[in-house]
Amino acid sequence: MAAELGPRAMFVAGGTDLFPKLKRRQFEVDSLIGLDFLPRAIRNGSDECVIDAGVTLAHASHDPHLNERFSGYAEAAGHVSSPPLRNAGTIGGNLCVDTRCNYYDMTYEWRKAAGFCLKKDGDICLVAPSSPRCWAVSSSDTAPMAIALGGVVTLVGASGERELPVTALYRDDGDRYMAKQPDEVVTGLRLRRSPNTRSAYVKLRRRGSIDFPIAGAAVAVELDGDRVESCRIVLSAVASYPLEAKAAEEFLKGRRLQEDVIREAAEIASRPAKPLDNADLSHFWRKRMVRVVVEQALARASDQQPGLDG
């Protein structure tokens, strides 16, 4: 159906991202294809968990199994937007949530007054006018955590079904940010862990009750005794896709999660993050805070102290 209707049709799950954007005319569509038919179950195995794309964020954040075994993921789902929005918003919609930018997330009239930009109706980027691309920010809370937990999504489209690691779902482009085909629906997310995996998500935002992240750190650490066997650190809201801090992951391998090591790893993790002046609060401060959220997430994963937004 989506393939037949073409670019003037969009999928809608909970509508909590799409409907405000339709009202601001950030998208103009002829048809909406409701995804209410998607299943809404969480299937738990001991080391694996499959979450249907139609599961609401509220359901995922309260699920006892997820809280016990994939606590970082349940935490990230519980930190998206606000309680009534989480009762409608889905985990599939959160993986596909649009990238954000102060110049783009305005009503049509405001955008017209400020001058349209590349992402919608215009031909330059207002944040980086000399750049040929859009730098809108990936703002999903659960996507970085899904990547840290080795997540794989199932996609179903006109040309059949396939699986894709969550890392490969995104492109480094604020405008065309999804790497999947437009007619492909995310139907489920599979997360994996070993018995020694610990995970945590720490999010920074202006109002703890509702706002999008302005920096976030998703970490999943696999311990061998008291040493890190492997680890994944993925940052939210600092690039056009969930940014993996590979150098910090390498640095942590074989080390103990103690205070000085965590501090150094967080410093290394924050280096590749280059927030631009297109989200809430100053981008200099956001850059400085990346180190802090990574430090808190690692400390949380090693069970030492609670995080910023908890």
Ligand X SMILES: Cc1cc2nc3c(=O)[nH]c(=O)nc-3n(C[C@H](O)[C@H](O)[C@H](O)COP(=O)(O)OP(=O)(O)OC[C@H]3O[C@@H](n4cnc5c(N)ncnc54)[C@H](O)[C@@H]3O)c2cc1C
Instruction: Collect all residues with Cβ–Cβ distance below 8 Å to 20 and sequence separation of at least 6.
Output: none
Asked whether position 126 contacts ligand SF4 by CB under 6 A, the answer is yes
DSSP state of 130: T
Q: Among residues 37 and 46, whose Cβ is nearest to another protein? A: 37
Backbone angles phi, psi at 128, to 5 degrees: -130, 80
Residue 222: φ, ψ to 5°: -105, 125
Verify binding: residue 20, ligand X, rule CB under 6 A: yes
- Classify burial at 44, counting beta carbons within 10 Å of its beta carbon; exposed 0-12, middle 13-18, buried 19 or more: middle
Q: What CA–CA distance (Å, rounded) separates 80 from 290? A: 18
What's the rounded Cα separation, in Å, for the pair 71 and 77?
A: 10
245 lies in the site for ligand SF4, by CB under 6 A? no
Closest CB 127 distance from ligand X, rounded Å = 20
Q: How far is the CB of 211 from ligand SF4 (least distance, A)?
A: 18
Nearer to another protein, 40 or 256 (CB): 40
Contacts to ligand SF4 from residues 147-186, by CB under 6 A = 174
Sole binder of ligand X in the list 9, 15, 108, 122 (CB under 6 A): 15
- Decide: is 35 part of the binding site for ligand X (CB under 6 A): yes
Report the distance separating Cα 226 and Cα 302, nearest Å.
Answer: 9
Q: CB of 209: closest distance to ligand X in angstroms? A: 10
Dist CA 304 CA 298 (whole Å): 9
- For ligand SF4, the binding residues in 281-300 under the rule CB under 6 A are none
CA–CA separation, 238 vs 275, rounded Å? 5
Site string for ligand X, 168-197 (x = CB under 6 A): -----------------xx-----------
- Cβ burial of 136 (10 Å; 0-12, 13-18, 19+) is buried
* Residue ranges in 19-78 that form contacts with another protein under rule CB under 8 A: 19-20, 22-25, 28, 32, 34, 36, 58
Query: Considering Cα of 12, then 16, then 17, then 20, what sign does the dihedral take?
Result: positive
- Kindly tell me which residue out of 5, 9, 50, 85 binds ligand X, with binding defined by CB under 6 A: 85
Residue written as tokens 């930190």? Answer: 79
Please work out the total of residues on this chain that contact ligand SF4, with binding judged by CB under 6 A. 14
Is 97 in contact with 139 (CB distance < 8 Å)?
yes
The Cα 220–Cα 196 span in angstroms is: 10
Nearest distance in Å: CB 194, ligand X: 27
- 104 makes contact, choosing from ligand X, another protein, ligand SF4, none, with CB < 5 to 8 Å by partner type, with ligand SF4
Q: Least distance from C-beta 42 to another protein, angstroms?
A: 17
* Of 151 and 213, CB closest to another protein: 213
Q: 201: closest CA among 242, 161, 241, 145?
A: 145
Which residues are near ligand X by CB under 6 A?
10-18, 20, 35, 53, 57, 80-81, 85, 88-90, 92-94, 96-98, 139-141, 185-186, 210-213
Which residues are near another protein by CB under 8 A?
15-16, 19-20, 22-25, 28, 32, 34, 36, 58, 81-85, 87-88, 107-108, 208-210
